[in-house]
Each structure stands twice: as C-alpha cells, then as structure tokens.
Amino acid sequence: MRKKIVAGNWKMNKTLQEGVALATELKDILAAEKPNCEVIIGTPFIHLATVSELLKDSIIAVSAENCADKESGAYTGEVSAAMVKSTGAEYVILGHSERREYYNETPEILKEKVDLALANGLKVIFCIGESLEQREANQQEAVCKAELAGSVFHLTPEQWKNIVIAYEPIWAIGTGKTATAEQAEEIHAFIRKCVADVYGAQIADETSILYGGSCKASNAPELFGKPDIDGGLIGGASLKAPDFKGIIDAWK
C-alpha cells in the first residue's frame, strides 16, 4: 500500500521563534489525536535543526524546501544535502515551481539536486506541474512527463522508493483557484502511468502522488477521495496548525 501523506511547505514564512511555536502546536494537536497519514513539515533551512530536535519523538517528519546542486565547497550561501541531513531532516522538496521560475532551476540542475539528496539519505518530494498558459494549450501531460523525464526518470527502482511526486498546477498555487478533483485525478492517473511505463505497474502503484495548489480543509476530502491522489503538499494552509490539521483530518 502506498503512503498517504500531508506535507506542509512553509516557504519563506515564520521567524525561528514563530516556527518553533507552530511546530510545537502541531506536535501537541497530533499527539492528542493520531493522524491517519504521514505528516511532514517543510521549513526554511534555519529552522531545520531546532524543529527536527523538537519533533524527534513525534510522528511528524521534517523536510527542507531546497538543497544545493553541488556537494560542498566555495558556494557562498548554499546549503548542501549533507548539511540538510545532518539537521535530522528526512525529506527535501525539490522542483517547486517557485524555485524553477524565480531561481532558474532547470531540469538538469534539479537532476543534480535529486541525486545529491538521495545519495545523502534524504527522501525527495519532487514537484511538477503546468502553468495556466500550458493548461489552456492542453499541454499539462507533456509538461509533467518532460519534468519527470528531465530530473527523476534516470533513477534506479531502488532509488525511486525514496521519491514522492507532488503535482502542483502553477495556476492553483497560492491563487485560491484549486484544480477540480476530476482535473487533478485525471493528471495524477496520467503521472502514475508515466511512472509505470518506466518502473513497472507495481512500483507505480506504490508511488505516493500528492496534489498541491490552494488545498484546504474544505476541498481536501474530495481531492483525497480520488484513487490516484495520495495526499497534499500544502502552502498557505500549513501556516496555521488548525488549518493544517483540518487537511490531515481529510484522511479520517
């Protein structure tokens, strides 16, 4: 059975003190009422060590939101996969559309990041998804397939076990505009088929594919009710514990 997951992506929000307060609130809420899915929080680099220590004995896993495409050395301001791993974080989010768009992360750069993350024992939440223009031109399938082929389809089946895919239509991220559950299911099924074409039906069946884009407590049950949607990657609604818990509860 593939894992059901709800993952938060705090992006560039929360000071260290605010992040610790949010992680503590979430830990307490989920200790009182066990979730029916894996819960991950993606935090800025500076929070990772403190939040990982805080959540050490909890069911919440911690993720970075990025890592460098180089192993180590003279790359001022960068943070390597090994450094992320050393904080106690288990995951790293790679390929987010904001990184692709604002920081010019190409499929080749992302391939390097994925390889380094896996080599350093991190699991990867790999984001793919089309822009509004591409959706209007009905190119969503071609875009998703190319993004997978460009950065993750070179992995071995063994490495693939540590990959979670997040389908995030760019037009739905932070816009309040959610893909309908039918639209999301259609492309999730397509993504699973692409995975099956490369790795076979069994591995595809075991791959978790998350939906991201204005997911909230009110639309999560319908989205997560679809057979190929295994949870969500959550931006805005992961910044308040009750909102995030509302999405986690969709798995009840």
Least Å distance between CB 193 and ligand PEP?
23
Q: Enumerate binding residues for ligand PEP (CB under 6 A).
A: 9, 168, 173-174, 212-215, 233-237
5 burial type by CB count under 10 A (0-12 exposed, 13-18 middle, 19+ buried): buried
Kindly state the tokens that stand for 68: 């460098």
Query: Which CB, 12 or 32, lies closer to ligand PEP?
Result: 12
Nearer to ligand PEP, 199 or 231 (CB): 231
**What is the C-alpha to C-alpha distance for residues 110 and 122, in angstroms, rounded to an integer?**
15
Nearer to ligand PEP by Cβ, of 119 and 132: the residue is 132
Could you give phi then psi for residue 165, rounded to 5 degrees?
Answer: -100, 140
For the question of residue 96 being annotated catalytic, the response is yes
Of the residues 96, 98, 105, 130, only one is catalytic, namely 96
Rounded least distance, CB 202 to ligand PEP, Å: 28
Amino acid at site 131 = S
Smallest gap from residue 215 Cβ to ligand PEP (A): 6
Active-site annotation holder among 105, 147, 168, 185: 168
- Closest contact distance (angstroms) between CB of 156 and ligand PEP is 27
Q: Is residue 154 flagged as an active site residue?
A: no
> How big is the CA angle at 158 (ends 154 and 159), to the nearest 5 degrees?
50
Are 45 and 14 in contact, with CB atoms under 8 Å apart? no
**Residue among 22 and 173 whose Cβ is closer to ligand PEP:** 173
Rounded-to-10 torsion of CA 14, 20, 21, 26:
100
The first and second tokens of residue 96, run together, are 């987010």
Catalytic positions, written as ranges: 96, 168
